[in-house]
Structure 1
Amino acid sequence: MEAGSRLSGVLASLPWRRRGSPGGQAADGEEEGIEGSRAAPARPRRLGWRRVVGLVLLLGVLVAGVAYVEKDRIAPEVADALRATIGDERTARVEGWFFAFEDAVQKVKFRLFGGEENPFETEEVRVSFVARPAARTVVVWAGKRGVDAMPNPDAFLPAPMTFPATRQLRSNPEPGEGSWSTVGLPRTSPADPLMAKTFFRPDPSRPYALVGVLLVDARRVRLRMVAGTVDPGGSRGVKGPGTIPASDVPHLVAAWNGGFKGDHGNFGMVVEGTEYQRLRNGLATVCTRRDGSFVMGEYGRDLVWDPQTMTACRQNAVLLVDRGEVSKRTAEGNDTWGYVQVNSSEFITWRSAIGVTKDGNLLVAAGNSLSAETLARALWAAGAEYAMQLDINSPYVLTALFFPQPDGSVKGERFMAAMPDSPGRFLRTQERDFMYLVVDESRYR
């Protein structure tokens, strides 16, 4: 017994025995260790502050990248949310910072990869359906002796639209720059031009800034204006229809965005006697007449509202081109080109405009990376006698062309491939005002 007790004591003192368990067995099935104790569990590896900062920065870059790619889709919601939280003035400054950042990105992209040389270049072959017009009846007074030969009926048709002379803004124009073309336009052929198009690069410091200009024979169309369901009159409780009447859709040839939101400058709009915003003197204004024509100029100087002869008027800022010259006010700061005390004339962003030539034909223009002055220069180069800016920023600027289909519907295409959004938006109800053209040759005699 004494020997057994001594042996037990010796065994108990050995290091490979587990302590704290009866009979020397490992507790709860734990393995015995040579050191006589269980190995300490590995501590979770903590992220250092450098790793945390790095992950936050990486996440921020990813979020910013996604936001930049999706900016055209989310920009309206973001802008409205900012206006509701920080106010219009601060939001305009944030927009200015964003436009400056976007412009810097565009400059880097152009240095590294170049840019578009022609906003209309496409390899797509387009076949356009145009219904055959009704035959014309030509009455010839024969007199007593009659006539020897029936004259050609085409001799009685109006003269085709004369394209205005353009001005070159650069010493090295790209092919097609400043030259009128009828390719790819609805209801148009070289022999029968309802429309024509060209483009300009008006800013020597930004060769990637391209302005597409659409020229339309004003004798063969009617210009119509539609107030949106929210703007410009929603804040006054005057909502517009926001839609193109179904009867006009088969005759639709083009549509484009209207002007600023109702509260952003309170620029006037009247349609068929409904006042969405009050018309004010000194502002750039376009008005449509009941005879199908339109007029443009400075309100109070060149034109005034006449309910007997006019159907609609829309104002937006001041004239870009006034009496054939670029307006000196294009570089004016404060709220001339916007609605806050910020020099928005220098915002480099998408801008749109309409104008009229000396012959009375319509010009529709839009382009990227523009200031008010460079947009004005492009319209002046296209032959504008008067021109006025419409809306700005890429989510809003869109010109759509509509091609007739055999079933009586129309197919929409963007005027410039780089324009955001779908031309089909003009066939839906719109919150913001817009303008459109329908074919009407009742004055084309």
Structure 2
Amino acid sequence: MKTWLRPLPFALLLGYGLVRLLHAPMDDNAPNRSAALCSALAHEGVTCTADDVTWVDGTNGVLGALGSGGGRALVRGRVRAEEPAGGAPSSPEARAAAEAASSDALDLYDVTARLSPEGSVLELTGVYNLTKTADADEGMPVIQGSRVAYVISVDGHPEAVHVLDFDGHDPHAYEELSSFQRWQLAISDWQATGRKRGIKRTVFALVPAPARAELSFRPDGMLEVKTDANRVIILDPAHDSIVDGAAYARAAAEVVAKPPTFGPWMSDRLRAISWFGDEKNQTLKAIVFTGQEWLKNAKAKITGDTSEKDVAEDIGSLTGKPVAATFTDPEIGWPPKPLEPMMKPALAGEGQWISLDKDAFITPIPGVPSPFLTTFVRTDPAAQYTRVYVTLWDPRLVALHMEAGTVEPVSATGEAGTGRIPRTPEVMRHVVAGFNGGFQATHGEYGMQADGVLYLPPKPYAATVMELRDGTTAFGAWPRATEVPEEVLSFRQNMTALVQNDKYNPWGRTWWGGVPPGWHDAIHTTRSGLCITKENFVAYFWGNDIGPEPLGRAMLAARCAFGIHLDMNPGLAGFEFYNMQPASTFQPLGRPLQSDWEYEGSLKDMPDFKFRSRRMVKSMGHILFPRYIHRDGRDFFYLTTRSVLPGPPIGGVGGAGSSGEGEGGVWRVKGLPQHGYPYAIATTSVRLGPDGSDKRARVLKIDPRAVRFDGSAAPANADAGADASQVVVSFGRPAVAARTAKGASAGSPPAEMLHAGAGDRKLYVGPNDFAIEKAAPANAVPIVDLFAANAPASAEARGAVGISDEDGMLVWIELLPETRADASTAEAMSKLLERLGCSSRALVAGNVHAFLGGALDIGGEPTAIGQVTARLVRTPAPAAHMMFNPTETVPASVWAPLQQQRVKWRPTLAPPEKPAGSASASSSGSPPAPAPPPRK
């Protein structure tokens, strides 16, 4: 052999050795290739049996082996986590993480292998976990063409059907992505699945969960699911739809969302590499953030920078010339008192609330003060150039909701969220803001439920924010029991409370997400948080270059009763305002947009709407702005304005005339028996025709969310029943003396109308709503007898009533005493109700009037009431409050192991075509929870 060829055998031998080291060894004595495949997978940490293997592709003789030589199989397998190295961890959280049990649930793997001409497995070339479902088992797959279907079971109960399309996502799914974003997704999909277009997944949740489910593809491509009682559900995988059996299934197709910017995206890619993983990724970020902090601190010491110029740029950009909100309205308690600055001397405006009234980037609420305030405070003596910005809102006027992302979190059954705000006009016209959610599931698997769909079960003692079914925002530390109360529509958890009972970190946590578990967490980076204040307002916090303690100090300065640490790191935390309006009435800004933090555009899927958006402050740099109005891969919160009184004035015919408060269609709310805030009633007067005649009427609006029926009131006694100080409206007949006042001879109803019989329908009041029906709705009581506008007695009607389609408000109309009732007034009242958006409307039977507080007529003037037929008293409207009080504060040695364990996931029974309600329904056998109210 020539000299230069002599090393060749050694090189080949070395190469063969490296190949054998890098690839799992094959079991040459395995009885078949499926057993050999499982033997090789065992070296990858995956255990399976030959019965768990379904071969999809294989070689075809010598030519096939010499060609691609590849085979592909779908394998059901289990994986166990490796024991942690490096000795015993120091912190309770780290010790709990090291002792946490890994899942024994079955996952479905896509395995590629090189095969011999005979079909024997020579080596594994790719192993991809397609499911990664916690505490759920994947059934044996059925295959037709590029589609694979299988059943997901939890505790032996079939909970969902998955359909995978190995042809990947449709090319149209990428239309809104830039070339760079498509490149990002291609790499992410290749890393996760070995395919540049990924694998499209559609989840069909089975509601309620049957005892069994059998799958089979039909020749026409439909998927047939046979369940209990010979029930058959027909699914259309090609269109992600339910052909038959929609009452027993819910479809959730996987959609493509824009990937994050390069930094967060690269962090996710490193985390997904098996030899790098999350801990090394956390270590890398800790090193980078520590270096950046050192440089910034050094610069600040040299220059003496206190960030005063940066603050002036951020705050000054909000309204041009911000004015501090210093007067607190005693009737509504808004705005609260300013924050007390910690750093002395304080910077200009530090801690002073700035009202965002008439902000062109915020959807307005007519007739009430702006529900948003903002300020800043510095809380880190060692880094006085840093600051925490605060946006505070009034939850009596603003509702909080949450939405699951298309990637995070994913439920035990693999079901992900839509990643976007519901695209309905009823929701979109109320959207006012959006902001980031909490940590990814890989960092704690903290619980989340959105719109009744449970994605991750609640963790004991975790800090939680909730949306209740009545629209209330609630906060609290979750109790040790993990059932979800029926009243909870949505919830999101993240770690333990950052602030509670006037203390920072009362639970003794040592890890706040900035470093690997076990490290001392002093990393300064972008952080965000959410809290409920002692005044029951809600605040969002955002700070750059801060640690967890400065964030907690800012919450204490804002008088937070309970504070939650949300997501962190640059590009992941941010808050955006929106002004969403119909395109036909959208008003231009009147100046050029500042493109670095302002935006104006429309929604592709709702072209009838336009929106204007801005970041909370100018220096807030987060990804994909505007982010939360579009589809997002991670969970997020969004805010909507509530439908509250008084609302916009009545325009057009009814509003002609005087422009004073309470007249000419301009609503009056002051000086009325409101007994709380937001307002329960509003009144005005209008003309009933365009001819300038003196036919006028008074209009009363009642918010059903602010009143309840007083069942204790005796019909014959106006003073009986509830405390008179809480009476908002009484319905009944006026005293005799009142019927002879103010020209009653001209407009008094005929004697037979004073005691007219019941009409063909009634006005009912129920929990938080009104209804006009012939038969009583569930849990509703009658208030007034009504009849149709075309009834024979309509010419004598002196009142009409309607229910607003938009917000459920009751609109009550009464003719003025001097206005004579006839057919034209009845028609005019009905047309006014129609113009006010009341498709449900009728005329009032008999001489029944509305009395404000039981002592004022509908115009707010003192009057005498005779017989009371019904009475409405004040009830608290949806707002914000604490929940789960008191949840005992326990040491880390108690809560850390519980939070590191996988909480058993159980879905819930839900009404047909409605999302599941909570984790308690299926276990308790209780009836399905009612559907949530419209989001407004």
Return the TM-score normalized by structure 1. Answer: 0.70
Indicate which of 162, 167, 170 corresponds to 2:343.
Answer: 170
- 8 A Cα contact 2:431 2:641, kept in partner: yes
- For residues 376-403 of structure 1, the C-alpha deviation after alignment (integer angstroms, 9 at most, x for no partner) is 1001101111110110001101111113
Indicate which of 97, 110, 113 corresponds to 2:300.
Answer: 110
Matched residues in 2 for 1:291 and 1:426: separation? 24
Indicate which of 269, 294, 304 corresponds to 1:81.
Answer: 269
What amino acid maps onto 2:502 in structure 1?
G
Residue in 2 that maps onto 1:12: none
Residue in 2 that maps onto 1:224: 401
- 8 A Cα contact 1:401 1:412, kept in partner: yes
Structure 2 residue matching 1:425: 3-state secondary structure: coil
What amino acid maps onto 2:354 in structure 1?
S
Structure 1 unaligned regions, length at least 5:
1-71, 128-156
Displacement of 1:368: 0.6
| Higher Cα radius of gyration | 1
Indicate which of 276, 300, 313 corresponds to 2:455.
Answer: 276
- Structure having the higher strand fraction is 2
Matched residues in 2 for 1:94 and 1:360: separation? 40
- 8 A Cα contact 1:350 1:392, kept in partner: yes
Structure 1 residue matching 2:618: 3-state secondary structure: coil
Residue in 2 that maps onto 1:241: 418
Indicate which of 418, 424, 429 corresponds to 2:626.
Answer: 424
Residue in 2 that maps onto 1:266: 445
The reply on whether 1:413 has 2:614 as its aligned counterpart is yes
What amino acid maps onto 1:431 in structure 2?
G
- For residues 85-134 of structure 1, the C-alpha deviation after alignment (integer angstroms, 9 at most, x for no partner) is 3111111111100110111222244345535322633357669xxxxxxx
Aligned pairs (5 A) from 1:55-74: 73-74=261-262
Aligned pairs (5 A) from 1:4-403: 73-85=261-273, 86-111=276-301, 114=305, 116-117=307-308, 118=311, 120-122=314-316, 159=332, 161-183=334-356, 185=359, 186=362, 187=364, 192-233=369-410, 237-247=414-424, 248-300=427-479, 305-307=484-486, 309-329=487-507, 332-333=509-510, 335=511, 337=513, 340-343=516-519, 345-403=521-579
Structure 1 residue matching 2:316: 3-state secondary structure: coil
Matched residues in 1 for 2:409 and 2:397: separation? 29
Matched residues in 1 for 2:395 and 2:610: separation? 23
Displacement of 1:372: 1.1
Displacement of 1:241: 0.9
Matched residues in 1 for 2:365 and 2:551: separation? 26
Displacement of 1:301: 7.0
Matched residues in 1 for 2:538 and 2:264: separation? 29
Displacement of 1:77: 2.1
Matched residues in 2 for 1:106 and 1:393: separation? 16
Residue 244 and residue 189 in structure 1: after superposition, are their counterparts in 2 closer, same or farther (change >3 A)? closer
Residue 317 and residue 401 in structure 1: after superposition, are their counterparts in 2 closer, same or farther (change >3 A)? same
The reply on whether 1:434 has 2:636 as its aligned counterpart is yes
Structure 2 unaligned regions, length at least 5:
1-259, 322-329, 587-608, 645-676, 680-936
- 8 A Cα contact 1:249 1:410, kept in partner: no
Could you tell which deviates more after superposition, 236-245 or 340-349? 340-349
Displacement of 1:276: 1.1
Matched residues in 2 for 1:255 and 1:385: separation? 23
- 8 A Cα contact 2:434 2:629, kept in partner: no
Displacement of 1:203: 0.3
What amino acid maps onto 2:640 in structure 1?
V
Residue in 2 that maps onto 1:130: none
Matched residues in 1 for 2:515 and 2:299: separation? 31
Displacement of 1:434: 0.2
Residue in 1 that maps onto 2:852: none
Structure 1 runs (4+) greater than 6 angstroms displaced: 188-191, 301-304
Displacement of 1:235: 7.6
Residue 215 and residue 322 in structure 1: after superposition, are their counterparts in 2 closer, same or farther (change >3 A)? same
Residue 357 and residue 350 in structure 1: after superposition, are their counterparts in 2 closer, same or farther (change >3 A)? same
- 8 A Cα contact 1:92 1:340, kept in partner: yes
What amino acid maps onto 1:206 in structure 2?
A
Matched residues in 1 for 2:520 and 2:640: separation? 33
- 8 A Cα contact 1:221 1:441, kept in partner: no
Displacement of 1:81: 2.3
Residue in 2 that maps onto 1:3: none
Displacement of 1:340: 4.4
Displacement of 1:328: 3.6
Matched residues in 2 for 1:189 and 1:343: separation? 51
- 8 A Cα contact 2:314 2:619, kept in partner: no
Alignment length (residue pairs): 342
Displacement of 1:342: 4.1
Matched residues in 2 for 1:76 and 1:235: separation? 25
What amino acid maps onto 2:439 in structure 1?
F
- 8 A Cα contact 1:402 1:413, kept in partner: yes
- 8 A Cα contact 2:463 2:477, kept in partner: yes
Q: Percent identity?
A: 27
- For residues 419-443 of structure 1, the C-alpha deviation after alignment (integer angstroms, 9 at most, x for no partner) is 1135411121100000010001348
Displacement of 1:338: 6.6
Structure 2 residue matching 1:319: 3-state secondary structure: coil
